[in-house]
Structures are given as structure tokens and as C-alpha cells.
């Protein structure tokens, strides 16, 4: 699709509609000339060049890529109107679009009757999940795995709830034997599980924790910010992912997913879903100023944020209209990244200079340069990161691991230092499927040069 043409169409349509209310002379104090604008804009465009090529398959570092052009067009058109999805008074059309997009997310996660809404981020979505957890289980602690996103401990701190980290197993998943010990010892009201850790894409065994819940009766909040869209390919197929944990989402109390990660959206789009719609009662508030046009609940009455742009809702709705969150729609995009991760793992198994840290569960692959000891692994990783980020082949990210973690995965590295950084990459773009061979060659080349 030709984004330039559709962006122009959006400007024409919205400004034409606005003119229909009668011409408004812009106030001279806010008027900017094209000549002045050109100078400032060129300066901005120049400054924006100080970044990394997130769009390119050679960039495999963080969970970043430009949004789908459909999301950009939807966002841009809506931003020209600037609706506020706090209340129907602020954004009637985008409130409806948000409800429809959230219903599709809920269906994707197997929670078709959930109460939910978009948020500006996964962090805020998780804060809401834990806020409801606290209100439902006052006085109890919240457990999360030691590899859970750092924001859970901080969100618990903000909420004044004690949080307890649970050690992880050999694959970076919550160790369920350790969880059981904890449940026998302490009053744990809520267990936070992660479907796709940010570091390794490890998926906690949600299905097995459902069994533990039958005996201990805690709440389950799932942080699927990173991995939620993998529900679309959770079919145990050779190029899919394990179905059991994703099928179990249907029985969890709350789930968070970030459309701004694998959902092709620009930043500013997270979501939280609650199985029990009556949790809306915890959000009740009296605002004398905002609600006016409807007796129906407004999105602002079931969310912690007040003003929130309607543009992300429109962008997500338009993307889903074209690439629906179904196995045959967006699922195909996820599957290409998954195939790239599996293919790379095969290539790494034959590499004399690199090895896969562990088998990837999703599309995140951690890799270490072959080296005799911890400090050399760290030095080579650091050199490869810097050389890659200077444009020397591939843009990667880092992950700190311990000697014990390396040993548990069968990497016999001499422990001359307690920890080392290794390389971490995310194959977030479907284009990686056809580029991974070239990326692997480039990264092998970096590793050879790092070894001198």
C-alpha cells in the first residue's frame, strides 16, 4: 500500500469534514509559515537519523519495528481529530472501535466474555491487573517468577503489596516445585505468570498452575505482553508453539497483551482483560466533569488512566480489519518469525563460533560466542554488540547470564567470573524468515573477528 497516497487522503477527508462546520480563520499567534516550517522540519528530520534501522532484518536486537502502514494511516487519520477514549463525549467513534478491537483480542486469548480495554503500555496494563488482584485479595502477597518483567516488583511496591520472586527452572520458566513450597508457607493471593519472558521468550506452564490453583485457590494474572499473539500459532505444529499454556489462558483471571509488540502497532498500545466483568466495581469513581452524553459505562470508568488517545484504537481496529488476529491472518506473520527462530537454531547447532543458549520457545533467540571462560564470552559479546551497532553486520542486544545458568544448558564455560553478557535477539519481522541465513553469516563473521 502507498502510505503517501493514503496519508494525503486522510488529510483531505478530515479537513474537508472540518470545513463543513464553516471556515475558521486560524489565530495569527499560532500560525506558522511554510518557509519557517521547512527549516524546523528539516532540522527534525536530520535529528531523527540518529537511530538504528529497526525496519531492517539486520536489526534483531530489541522488540522494535516500525508499525504496519495500515496502522500508521489509521493512527494519522485519527490523530487529526484527536479523540480521547476516556469518555464517549471525547471519542464516540474511537470508543466503539476500541471495544471491537478489544473483543478480537479477547477472542484470540480464549476469553470472549472478558471485560477489557486498551492502555498506553504493558506496564500500565499489568498495574491494572495487579490493582484488581490487590482489591480482590487484600492483605495477601503476589508471587511472580524471578524472570518476570521488572515492572511487576515495582508495580507491587506502588500498590503497597508484598511481592515474592519464585526461582526459575532450567528453561527460564517459573519453577513449580518452588511455587508449591511457597504456597504451603505463605499467604499468596495472586500468582503472576509470564507467557513469553522479555529475556528468553520462556512461557510459564500456565496449564499446570491451574492444577495448583484447584488446591490453593489463588488468582492468576498472566503477563502475555510479549507472547500473547503467539496464541495464534499455539497448535503444536512444527512451526507453531506449544498449545497447552496458551489454551489455559481461557481459565485465568486477568491477561495482559501488548499490540505494540507483536501486533504491528506503534507504541502506546497495551491491553488488559479480566475474566470477571464485575471487577469494574473497583474502578468506580466520581468525576463531576467528564461524563455527559451516555448512561453506558465509559472506558474511563474501567481504567486507571484518564485521557487516552483514541488513535491507537483506530490503528489497531484498521490493522485487524486487514490482518485479523486469527491463525490465517496475523498468525501467518507470527509463524514466519517462529520459522526464522527455528531455522537459526539449526544453523547455530552447526556453527564452530556460536551456539544457541537454549532452544527458543517463541521468536527470541539467545546466542553466545564460543569461548573458554566467562570473561571471554563477555568480552566477545561486548565487542560484537558495539561493532554490530556501528553498522558492522547485525544489530543485536545483550542478556546477562550466570555461570550456573550456562552450565544448566550444557555450555561448559570456565567460571572465572560470576556472570557474562551473551547476545539476545528477537526475530520480530516476518522478513527474518528469508534473511536469517544472511544474518547468521554476518553474526558468525562478527564472532570470528571478536575472537581475533
Distance CA 241, CA 147 (A): 20
Task: Tell me the site size for ligand PLP, rule CB under 6 A.
Answer: 14
Q: By CB under 6 A, is residue 163 in contact with ligand PLP?
A: no
Distance CA 216, CA 314 (A): 41
Residue 126: name the closest of 152, 98, 161 by CA.
152
Q: By CB under 6 A, is residue 128 in contact with ligand PLP?
A: no
Site for ligand PLP in 412-441 (CB under 6 A): none
Please, what is the minimum distance in Å from the beta carbon of residue 224 to ligand PLP?
8
Could you tell me where the DSSP H helices lie in 249-354?
259-262, 311-322, 330-349
Please, what is the minimum distance in Å from the beta carbon of residue 247 to ligand PLP?
19
Please, what is the minimum distance in Å from the beta carbon of residue 276 to ligand PLP?
22
* Part in contact with ligand PLP (CB under 6 A); list of ranges 40-48, 121-129, 137-145, 443-451: 121-129
Please, what is the minimum distance in Å from the beta carbon of residue 42 to ligand PLP?
32
Site for ligand PLP in 165-224 (CB under 6 A): 194, 197-198, 223
Residue 201: name the closest of 165, 237, 149 by CA.
149
| Torsion region of 291: left, alpha or beta (phi above 0 gives left; psi -120 to 50 gives alpha) | beta
Binding string, 267-296, against ligand PLP, x = CB under 6 A?
---x--------------------------
Q: Residue 252 in contact with residue 231, Cβ under 8 Å?
A: no
Contacting ligand PLP (CB under 6 A), which of 253, 258, 405, 444? Answer: 258
Q: By CB under 6 A, is residue 360 in contact with ligand PLP?
A: no
Contacting ligand PLP (CB under 6 A), which of 87, 118, 191, 226? Answer: 226
Between strands 354-356 and 364-369, the pairing is antiparallel
Could you tell me the CA-to-CA distances from 357 to 248, 374, 383 in Å, in that order?
Answer: 27, 14, 18
Q: By CB under 6 A, is residue 149 in contact with ligand PLP?
A: yes
Q: Residue 332 in contact with residue 276, Cβ under 8 Å?
A: no
Please, what is the minimum distance in Å from the beta carbon of residue 222 to ligand PLP?
10
Residue 104: name the closest of 325, 331, 329, 310 by CA.
325
Q: By the criterion CB under 6 A, which residues form the site for ligand PLP?
A: 121-123, 126, 149, 151, 194, 197-198, 223, 225-226, 258, 270
Amino acid at each position: 500500500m502507498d502510505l503517501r497516497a493514503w496519508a494525503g487522503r486522510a488529510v483531505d477527508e478530515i479537513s474537508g469534514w472540518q470545513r463543513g462546520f464553516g471556515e475558521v480563520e486560524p489565530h495569527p499567534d499560532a500560525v506558522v509559515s511554510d518557509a519557517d516550517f521547512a527549516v524546523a522540519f528539516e532540522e527534525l528530520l536530520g535529528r531523527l537519523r540518529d537511530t538504528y534501522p529497526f525496519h531492517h532484518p539486520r536489526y534483531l536486537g530489541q522488540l522494535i519495528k516500525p508499525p504496519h502502514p495500515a496502522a500508521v494511516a489509521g493512527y494519522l487519520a485519527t490523530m487529526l481529530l484527536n479523540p480521547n477514549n476516556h469518555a464517549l463525549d471525547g471519542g464516540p467513534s474511537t470508543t466503539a472501535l476500541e471495544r471491537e478491537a478489544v473483543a478480537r483480542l479477547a477472542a484470540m486469548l480464549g476469553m470472549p466474555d472478558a471485560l477489557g480495554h486498551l492502555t498506553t503500555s504493558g506496564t500500565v496494563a499489568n498495574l491494572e491487573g495487579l490493582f484488581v488482584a490487590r482489591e480482590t485479595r487484600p492483605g495477601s502477597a503476589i508471587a511472580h517468577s524471578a524472570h518476570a518483567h521488572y515492572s511487576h516488583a515495582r508495580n507491587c511496591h506502588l500498590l503497597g503489596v508484598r511481592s515474592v520472586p519464585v526461582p526459575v527452572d532450567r528453561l527460564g520458566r517459573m519453577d513449580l516445585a518452588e511455587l508449591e513450597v511457597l504456597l504451603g508457607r505463605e499467604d499468596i493471593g495472586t500468582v503472576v505468570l509470564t507467557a513469553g519472558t522479555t529475556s528468553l521468550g520462556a512461557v510459564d506452564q500456565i496449564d499446570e498452575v491451574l492444577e495448583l490453583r484447584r488446591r490453593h485457590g489463588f488468582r492468576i494474572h498472566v503477563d502475555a505482553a510479549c507472547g500473547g499473539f503467539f496464541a495464534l500459532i499455539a497448535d503444536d505444529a512444527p512451526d507453531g508453539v506449544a498449545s497447552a499454556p496458551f489454551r489455559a489462558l481461557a481459565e485465568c483471571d486477568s491477561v495482559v497483551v501488548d499490540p505494540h509488540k507483536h501486533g504491528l502497532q506503534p507504541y502506546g498500545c497495551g491491553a488488559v482483560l479480566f475474566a470477571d466483568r464485575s471487577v469494574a466495581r473497583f474502578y468506580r469513581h466520581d468525576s463531576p466533569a467528564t461524563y455527559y452524553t451516555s448512561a453506558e459505562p465509559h472506558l474511563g470508568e474501567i481504567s486507571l488512566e484518564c485521557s487516552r488517545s483514541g488513535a491507537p484504537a483506530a490503528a489497531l481496529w484498521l490493522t485487524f480489519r486487514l490482518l485479523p488476529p486469527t491463525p490465517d491472518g496475523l498468525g501467518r506473520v507470527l509463524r514466519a518469525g517462529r520459522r526464522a527462530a527455528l531455522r537459526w537454531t539449526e544453523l547455530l547447532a552447526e556453527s564452530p563460533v556460536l551456539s544457541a543458549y537454549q532452544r527458543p520457545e517463541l521468536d527470541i533467540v539467545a546466542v553466545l560466542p564460543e569461548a573458554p571462560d566467562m570473561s571471554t564470552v563477555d568480552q566477545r559479546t561486548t565487542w560484537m554488540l558495539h561493532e554490530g551497532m556501528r553498522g558492522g553486520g547485525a544489530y543485536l542486544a545483550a542478556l546477562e547470564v550466570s555461570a550456573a545458568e550456562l552450565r544448566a544448558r550444557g555450555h561448559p564455560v570456565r567460571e572465572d567470573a560470576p556472570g557474562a553478557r551473551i547476545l539476545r535477539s528477537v526475530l520480530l519481522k516476518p522478513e527474518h524468515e528469508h534473511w536469517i541465513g544472511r544474518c547468521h553469516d554476518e553474526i558468525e563473521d562478527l564472532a570470528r573477528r571478536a575472537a581475533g
